[in-house]
Copies of this chain bind each other. A is one copy, B any other.
């Protein structure tokens, strides 16, 4: 089997579980946050830096790598791990999400999806079999089935038709899947409709995958609706396989989903916010360009052990950010990713010590910004994966 999932502990007070995922390139611990490395690099970071701050698995986007530099090229260059100098667990999505979110001229048929490149307008066609083939060329440890991310809002009928397509494609992906070192995950769709989500889980489980993802959330629906879909869907997922909530989210989103039994999360929020100068602290957001930080000699967060906070003041980072210096993006990314990854390891520790509810309560009570608007009109909420350009 390409993936072995050990559940080390089930939380007494919630659906949370503590786990260990063994892949062809080593182990990652769950619940896991997966930094996004869209174009074969987690923006501004080296692999060594990522490991140092506790990243055990990262994600790259098939759509982007298929277009540039090309999956066959990456295969010839020794596959993605070697290409990008990341010799640890690696996940690629199927490319489906970006096909739909980054393109206007998309034609979907049972055969697959036709689209134009956002880079040069060139025409491309991807079938479920090709999505698997491309991901085999890239060689990630975990690969995803091609799915249609159901839009929001969608009627029950539309969501149902879309789900049928995803299930059809999932069967074909499973049949096309050959590489013994790659785990294949199915993606649960069905929009906001409990019956469709249930059906989706049932059919996917029947086909049989190495893991199951919840897709089609954080696509424009309300927070409450997203929580409801996750809460209703998660318990239906096979308990002995890793459960992956795609493209989510804020710290609060992740903490809530962990309690529903989700094991894996990816999101551009920490890295993208870093580049926008929106920095995570336990007591609220810092918009580093604000004038009040101009002579602030404190670190981004007092007591934070990241490289940035150990050596630099808010005043210096603000200066770098306003001067558009590359080091600003680096220092901010280090801090935000450290914040997320440290939160995950603290969360795992709390679960191990039977104090998860207290940990989450404490985290949320210190947290102030929630859905507050950040600088530039960006919301510090779950960001759809469409931001990965």
Q: A residues touching B (Cβ–Cβ < 8 Å)?
A: 39-41, 43-46, 68-69, 73, 76-78, 83-85, 294-295, 297, 307, 311-313, 315-316, 318-320, 322-323, 325-327, 329-330
Expressed in whole angstroms, the Cα–Cα distance for A41 and B312 within the complex equals: 12
Contact A297 B43 (CB under 8 A): no
Find A295's partner among B76, B295, B312, B322 (CB 8 Å cutoff).
Answer: B76
Instruction: Identify 7 residue pairs between A and B in the complex whose beta-carbon atoms are under 8 Å apart, listed by A's number.
Output: A40-B316, A45-B327, A73-B294, A83-B313, A83-B319, A326-B329, A330-B330
Alpha-carbon distance between A73 and B307 when the two chains are bound, in angstroms: 24
The 8 Å CB contact of A41, one of B43, B45, B311, B327, is B327
A217 to B271 Cα, complex, angstroms: 43
- Decide if A40 touches B76 in the complex (CB within 8 Å): no
Which of B39, B45, B319, B326 makes the CB contact (< 8 A) with A323? B39
Expressed in whole angstroms, the Cα–Cα distance for A206 and B84 within the complex equals: 58
Set of chain B residues within 8 Å of A77, measured between Cβ atoms: 295, 297, 313, 315-316
Q: Which residue of B lies closest to A326 (CB)?
A: B44
Complex contact A315–B73 (CB within 8 A): yes
Contacts of A307 in B (CB 8 A): 46
CA distance A69 to B313 in the complex (A): 13
List 18 other contacts, CB 8 Å, given A40-B319, A41-B320, A85-B312: A40-B316, A41-B325, A43-B325, A44-B327, A46-B307, A46-B327, A68-B322, A68-B323, A69-B315, A69-B319, A73-B295, A73-B315, A76-B295, A77-B313, A77-B315, A77-B316, A85-B311, A326-B330
Report how far A325 CA is from B39 CA in the complex, Å.
8
Name the CB-closest residue of B to A65.
B319
> How many copies of the shown chain assemble into the complex?
2
User: How many Å lie between the Cα of A363 and that of B46 in the bound state?
Assistant: 32
**Bound: A41/B327 CA distance, A:** 7
**Residues of chain B lying within 8 A (CB to CB) of residue A40:** 316, 319-320
A76 to B294 CA separation, bound complex (whole angstroms): 11
Nearest Cβ on chain B to A84's Cβ, whole angstroms: 7
Chain B nearest Cβ from A230, distance in angstroms? 32
Q: A83-B316, A325-B41 are in contact. Are A78 and B295 (CB under 8 A)?
A: no
B residues in contact with A73, CB < 8 Å: 294-295, 315
Question: Once bound together, how far apart are the Cα atoms of A83 and B322, in whole Å?
Answer: 15
List the B side residues contacting A318 at CB < 8 Å.
Answer: 69
Chain B residues with CB under 8 A of A68: 319, 322-323
Taken together as a complex, chains A and B put the C-alpha atoms of A40 and B315 apart, in Å, by 12
- In the bound complex, residues from chain B placing their C-beta under 8 Å from that of A311 are 85
A218 to B253, CA, bound (A): 57
